[in-house]
């Protein structure tokens, strides 16, 4: 597959107006994407669990315009007009115009809402960008009927990637690989693919409880962080390590070795933050409570032998990962011991999910 294959031929249908809607989930990386080349090409492969509860719902309404001079769209969050979202969507439209040449032909209304609280520190770019990309694909599908669902998903992931790298891993589930790696057949830098090998029962219904340690705006955005990997003294080793870790994960996922799984994902999370701390300029996104939580997780694991582990995204929140079979005791521990380290004692119970869903629009 090359980018060329996502440039459409002439559309066969003429659509004047309509509405489509998708809900698309967030995802949590186990092996992290951190560092990118031009056009949102990742420096290394990543793999993630698709989430289930944390998602964005987007309703896209479109009507054909008289002129096609420029983009015409308005964005709403929870019913409120959001002009400050405009630049990000405009950049996205510019990037994908060659693949969706109808974009300047329509006036769009983009209405979006998230299941997770606003400014919870949970990035909405993965779920938000993928939901928008899927809506645009639904319009393209009407303009060019007959595309396969495989192509639909692949192009939706490809477009999502151009909006936000990690968004390309939100279209499907339950484990998605993005970035070429020689041990994963079919893996691509252009879009996410379903992890194609055997996965042990232990990883089915895996739980992710997201501790909202810090709900504030991050001091350093992911985009800036990715860029700081250019010229980073440990970049080459880190990118090589991600390839190796993906290869090591394969026998772990197959055998269900939870101890090895935890060791690998915790190391990945701390490596991600180590890259931030060793960038120039350097920065720290963890907060004191992030470390408190990590230490408590380690002590509890040692004491009980339960398979509780953590990962981090580019922020202070902690994703507590554990198998469903141990959920009762671990959730009790989270409530009694970890919730006090969260802002307003807030945490979100999520688990592995299976990707985005199209929603039926009620015409009334």
Interface contacts to ligand DP6, rule CB under 6 A: 29, 32-34, 40, 46, 123, 125, 164-166, 222-223, 226, 272, 313-314
| Nearest CA-CA partner of 301 in 342, 336, 259 | 259
Peptide bond into 281 cis (omega under 30): yes
| Nearest CA-CA partner of 345 in 353, 354, 337 | 337
Q: Which CB, 40 or 112, lies closer to ligand DP6? A: 40
For residue 85, the minimal CB distance to ligand DP6 (Å) is: 14
Number of C-beta neighbours around residue 266 at 10 A: 18
Number of C-beta neighbours around residue 252 at 10 A: 21
For residue 151, the minimal CB distance to ligand DP6 (Å) is: 23
Q: Which residue is nearest to ligand DP6 (CB)?
A: 165
Q: Which CB, 56 or 125, lies closer to ligand DP6? A: 125
What is residue 16's DSSP assignment? -
Q: Which CB, 20 or 315, lies closer to ligand DP6? A: 315
Q: Which CB, 301 or 319, lies closer to ligand DP6? A: 319
Q: Which CB, 46 or 245, lies closer to ligand DP6? A: 46
Q: Which CB, 226 or 341, lies closer to ligand DP6? A: 226
For residue 95, the minimal CB distance to ligand DP6 (Å) is: 11
Full DSSP string of 220-279: S-HHHHHHTTTT-TTHHHHHHHHHHHHHHHHHHHHHT-HHHHHHHHHHHHHHHHHHHHTS
For residue 28, the minimal CB distance to ligand DP6 (Å) is: 7
For residue 47, the minimal CB distance to ligand DP6 (Å) is: 9
For residue 246, the minimal CB distance to ligand DP6 (Å) is: 12
**Do residues 73 and 109 make contact, with C-beta atoms less than 8 angstroms apart?**
yes
d(CA 116, CA 348): 8
Q: Which CB, 103 or 272, lies closer to ligand DP6? A: 272
| Nearest CA-CA partner of 192 in 168, 173, 165 | 168
For residue 143, the minimal CB distance to ligand DP6 (Å) is: 27
**Both structure tokens of 102:** 């109808």
Q: Sort 171 into a burial class: Cβ within 10 Å, 0-12 / 13-18 / 19+.
A: buried
């Amino acid at each position: 597959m090359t980018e060329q294959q996502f440039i459409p031929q002439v559309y066969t249908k003429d659509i004047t107006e309509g509405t489509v809607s998708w809900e698309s989930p967030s995802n949590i990386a186990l092996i992290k994407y951190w560092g990118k080349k031009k056009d949102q090409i990742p420096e290394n492969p990543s793999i993630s669990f698709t989430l289930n509860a944390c998602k964005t719902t987007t309703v896209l309404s479109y009507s054909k315009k008289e002129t096609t001079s420029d983009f015409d769209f308005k964005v709403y969050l929870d019913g409120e007009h959001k002009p400050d979202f405009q630049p990000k969507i405009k950049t996205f439209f510019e990037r994908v115009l060659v693949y969706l040449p109808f974009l300047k032909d329509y006036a769009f209304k983009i209405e979006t809402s998230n299941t997770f609280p606003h400014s919870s520190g949970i990035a909405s770019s993965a779920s938000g960008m993928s939901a928008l990309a899927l809506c645009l694909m639904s319009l393209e599908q009407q303009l060019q009927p007959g595309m396969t669902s495989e192509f639909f998903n692949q192009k939706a992931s490809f477009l999502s990637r151009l909006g936000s790298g990690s968004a390309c891993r939100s279209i499907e589930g339950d484990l998605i690989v993005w970035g070429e790696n020689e041990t994963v057949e079919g893996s691509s830098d252009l879009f996410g693919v379903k992890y194609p090998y055997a996965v042990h029962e232990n990883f089915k219904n895996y739980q992710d409880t997201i501790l909202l340690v810090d709900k504030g705006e991050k001091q350093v955005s992911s985009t800036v962080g990715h860029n700081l990997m250019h010229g980073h003294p440990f970049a080459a080793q880190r990118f090589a390590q991600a390839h190796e870790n993906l290869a090591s994960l394969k026998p772990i996922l197959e055998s269900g070795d939870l101890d090895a799984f935890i060791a690998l994902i915790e190391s990945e999370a701390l490596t991600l933050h180590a890259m931030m701390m060793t960038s120039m300029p350097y920065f720290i996104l963890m907060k004191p409570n992030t470390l408190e939580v990590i230490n408590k997780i380690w002590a509890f694991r040692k004491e009980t032998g339960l398979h509780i582990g953590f990962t981090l995204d580019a922020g202070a929140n902690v994703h507590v990962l554990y198998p469903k079979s141990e959920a009762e005791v671990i959730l009790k521990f989270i409530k009694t011991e970890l919730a006090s380290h969260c802002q307003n004692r807030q945490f979100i119970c999520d688990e592995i999910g299976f990707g985005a869903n199209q929603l039926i629009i009620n015409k009334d």
